[in-house]
Amino acid sequence: MRYVVGVDLGGTKTAAGVVAADGSVLVQGQVATKNRDGGAAILDATAELVRSLVKDAAGAGATVDAVGVGSAGVIDAAEGTVISATDAILGWTGTHIIAGLQERLGLPAAVINDVHAHALGEAWLGAAAGTSTSLMMAFGTGVGGSFVVNGRPLLGHHFVGGHVGHFASPLAVHRGTPLPCSCGHAGHVEAVASGPAIRAAYVRDGGSAALEDTRAVFAAAGLGDELAASVIATAARAAGQAVGGLANILDPQVVVISGGLADAGGPWWHPMERALRAELLAPLADVPVVRAALGNTAAVVGAASLVLS
């Protein structure tokens, strides 16, 4: 059986696994992403992680022959370079991922944006397995997505396809002023529907700043904090409106919802799905809306599929 390494290179950690041609994961590992040290240091650490996994696989009788990467940032999948990236990874913009890894490892490589890799994993073996089209939306630290058609994600002419957190939301306002977004614009979905946006809204509307993160806001809601419950519901409605609008445009066979907020349970999921279904055109009324199934392995498996297919 053929074996490759799939890599999920994110802003805080880089996870990888040796993936067989049937999608099973033989061995896994992860390291902290050297996100303050520049592109070369990140590639060095990634290559070292891959080498260790290749060695482990060899001990189990498996030979690795390629590397697929899902990376944070806007990725030119044809050239294998980072077109742009946020300050979450300093010095990442302009990095030649494919050339850099091939030079370090002596193995052929391919790269795609990490959310697309996640969606590929779900389309191959996860919640969208067996479908010809799937829309995956991820709600967590940011908002991202991917539309997969017959096993291929829609990348766009400038490789910006999937940045679904960056179109207008009617709920991304505060006292009539559009909320600032991480992209530098204002009034976007991510500004109201991401995890950090929930905590920001809670504090902005008078909640205690002692609640340091989104988890704390959810915990407060569970203890009866009405403001916490309200800002969570607003974020969930904004998420559902966004997904429903995209479903109307793309007409997917299935909608897959992923990310930390999707795993937060009913207080987020139920208002999200109600808002989503309220947006749908009549022919889409019964489109399945499901949670992602593969968890942390989705992007690793999806990245591996780049070089297995």
Q: What is the DSSP string of 222-277?
A: HTT-HHHHHHHHHHHHHHHHHHHHHHHHH--SEEEEESTTGGG-HHHHHHHHHHHH
> Measured on CA atoms in the order 54, 58, 60, 64, is the torsion positive or negative?
positive
Is the pLDDT at 229 greater than 90? The verdict is: yes
Is the pLDDT at 244 greater than 90? The verdict is: yes
Q: Convert the pLDDT of each residue in 188-223 to its tens digit.
A: 999 999 999 999 999 999 999 999 999 999 999 999
Is the pLDDT at 92 greater than 90? The verdict is: yes
Domains and CATH numbers, the chain: 3-121+296-308 (3.30.420.40), 132-292 (3.30.420.40)
Is the pLDDT at 93 greater than 90? The verdict is: yes
pLDDT value of position 309: 81
Kindly state the average pLDDT of the residues 129-143. Answer: 96
β-strand 133-139 against 143-149: which pairing, if any?
antiparallel
Is the pLDDT at 86 greater than 90? The verdict is: no
pLDDT value of position 98: 98
pLDDT value of position 64: 98
Kindly state the average pLDDT of the residues 276-290. Answer: 98
pLDDT value of position 209: 95
Is the pLDDT at 88 greater than 90? The verdict is: no
β-strand 254-258 against 133-139: which pairing, if any?
parallel
Q: Is 112 buried (19+), middle (13-18) or exposed (0-12) by CB count in 10 A?
A: buried
Average per-residue pLDDT for the chain: 97
pTM of the model: 0.95
pLDDT value of position 8: 98
Banded pLDDT at 126 (limits 50, 70, 90): very high
pLDDT value of position 87: 84
pLDDT value of position 76: 98
